[in-house]
Homo-oligomer: A and B are copies of this chain.
Amino acid sequence: MIPSNAKKVFTGVIFDVYQWPQEMFDGSIETFEMLKRRTSTDVIATQNGKILLQVQEQPAKPIFLSFPGGQAEDAEDSLVGAKRELLEETGCTSNDWHLFSEVNAISKIDWFVYTYIARDCTIVQDQQLDAGERITIRWVTLDELIDLVDQQKFTQIEPSFRMDLVRAKYHPPARQELEKKIFGL
């Protein structure tokens, strides 16, 4: 999405800024700008028909709900990153991983969010949290997850998946399809 003639004009901690000269419809030239952000992962971790949610605290932010996941490390494959984040944040592993979706959600930002399903998770170690994380784990049913999203109590979620969950709330065939996709039954 960022054209090959774009130049990186700023390197940040999270965001890098790119600019390029873009020809307009009347032949004039304007400077266009886009951001690049490292790939992120979200993990839908399941166990006994429930889904893992994180009640998360970070410095300078109100408490929020999230899935396990985070930013990929340098050149890390998204699935490797998803497994690493799940283990660090929750102490869980799984032998049954599936890609749920791959979305570039936000206009003007080159930022891919990969959502993975990790079925039948087992806890194998303690959490290994960064100095900027406090995470409590909560297991919820699919219907509880759907309600949290529909009631806007869980908003830090990729917009298309958020839409899937709201659709599942009010449209039984969509709920059935989503349940099958997540739990594989």
Q: A149's closest neighbor in chain B, by CB?
A: B163
Chain A interface size range? 35 or more
Residue A26 CB within 8 A of the other chain? yes
Q: A28's closest neighbor in chain B, by CB?
A: B131
- A152 partner residues in chain B, CB cutoff 8 A: 160
- A170 partner residues in chain B, CB cutoff 8 A: 167, 169-171, 174
Choice from B14, B35, B159 contacting A159 with Cβ under 8 Å: B159
Is A24 in contact with B131, judged by CB distance below 8 angstroms? yes
Is B166 in contact with A163, judged by CB distance below 8 angstroms? yes
- A133 partner residues in chain B, CB cutoff 8 A: 25
Is A25 in contact with B166, judged by CB distance below 8 angstroms? no
Residue A22 CB within 8 A of the other chain? yes
Residue A156 CB within 8 A of the other chain? yes
Choice from B10, B15, B31, B134 contacting A25 with Cβ under 8 Å: B134
Q: Which of A12, A23, A28 has the most CB of B within 10 A?
A: A12
Residue A3 CB within 8 A of the other chain? yes
Residue A176 CB within 8 A of the other chain? no
Once bound together, how far apart are the Cα atoms of A107 and B159, in whole Å? 12
Once bound together, how far apart are the Cα atoms of A130 and B26, in whole Å? 9
27 contacts between A and B (CB under 8 A): A9-B10, A10-B10, A10-B12, A12-B33, A14-B33, A15-B17, A15-B33, A15-B35, A15-B108, A17-B17, A22-B59, A22-B60, A23-B59, A24-B131, A25-B59, A25-B131, A26-B131, A32-B60, A106-B106, A152-B160, A159-B159, A162-B163, A163-B166, A167-B170, A169-B171, A170-B171, A170-B174
